[in-house]
Amino acid sequence: MLLPSYASPILAVTAGPRRLTILALGTSLLLAGCNGDTNPSDQAAAGSTAAAAGAASATVQAAPAPAGDLGDQLAAKRKTLVAEAVSALQETQAALDRLAADDTRGAVEALARATGKLDIVLAADPKLALAPVDVRVAIHDVVTTPDAVRALRTRAEAALDDGRLQDARHLIADLASEHVIDVTSLPLATYPAAIKQAAALLHDDKPGEAVAVLETALSTLIVEETVIPLPLARAEALLARAQPLSERPQRSAEEQAALQGLLADARTQLDLARALGYATKRDLDALYDALKAIEDKAEAKESGKGLFDRLGELFGTANRSSNPDQKPKDG
């Protein structure tokens, strides 16, 4: 089968709670070490929703994501869910269902329950602006090399220069390697008032207007997106594995080889993060500088004790700047 001119040397995987889709296959896909085993680290990274993506990633020997960090972040997001707000949202939908069945009384009762739930939320925390009601995670991953990504970027830029916008779009469509956590929240400044307004309209025998108010209220739900770049997560996990080896005052030949292999893999992940455009140049430069200091100590067969102390802070900064609304300008 002939591939279009924009076919890319990348395998892109998108995984959600119920789907795993192979998005693009190119002619020079790297499948070194293929096998059918599943990487447990990738599975645990986002809980049960990421299991399918973990299997796909393991097939091509992708570096593991740190299950603890990603899993903890998702768990922390889920803990913020406000049970009463979730119930209020469910009752809003129930009211719409009752109105669709011409059951005005049932709709009024559902809205009364929703109002009661929202009153509980506001009484518990009057300053709360957003009440989280849902958390979802999606995984977008590519199996490729930094060089392949850079080559695609060059081709996409050439296509743009030539006015071939659609070719450029297809070339870069799958260039992402990330966990995306979406938190949906009720805006407490407006949502409770909308529920009460809809109830009043029903009492005035205006079900059509009440439906419009409820549908508008549902459309005002706020979705906050957090992007966790997988190359950065994998680089951090590799360096965490390298730390105990690096900090030893003496290393055997096997330990030395293992350490240098982990550091090389971490550098590859940083290269991939840069090629994919994650974080800022300043943030990645700081990570490269820290990695170089560790590599120099490893090459000299000296202890790297103390050189890992700032890595958590540096990776945290790079992760934050990978999110569009938190990304500072490079100086």
Residues 6 or more apart in contact with residue 136 via CB below 8 angstroms: 16, 17, 49, 181, 182, 184
Please say whether the dihedral angle defined by the alpha carbons of residues 54, 57, 60 and 64, taken in this order, is positive or negative. negative
The gap from C-alpha 83 to its chain's centroid, in whole angstroms, comes to: 24
Q: How many CB atoms neighbour CB 139 within 10 A?
A: 28
Q: What is the pLDDT along the chain (331 residues), one digit of tens a residue?
A: 333 444 444 544 444 432 222 222 232 222 222 333 334 333 333 333 333 233 223 222 334 445 556 667 666 665 666 889 999 999 999 999 999 999 999 999 999 999 999 999 999 888 899 999 999 999 999 888 999 999 999 999 999 999 999 999 999 998 999 999 999 999 999 999 999 999 999 999 999 999 999 999 999 999 999 999 999 999 999 999 999 999 999 999 999 999 999 999 999 999 999 999 999 999 999 999 999 999 999 999 999 999 999 999 999 999 999 987 655 444 3
Structure tokens at 56: 């796909």
Structure tokens at 301: 């067969």
**Do residues 118 and 89 make contact, with C-beta atoms less than 8 angstroms apart?**
no
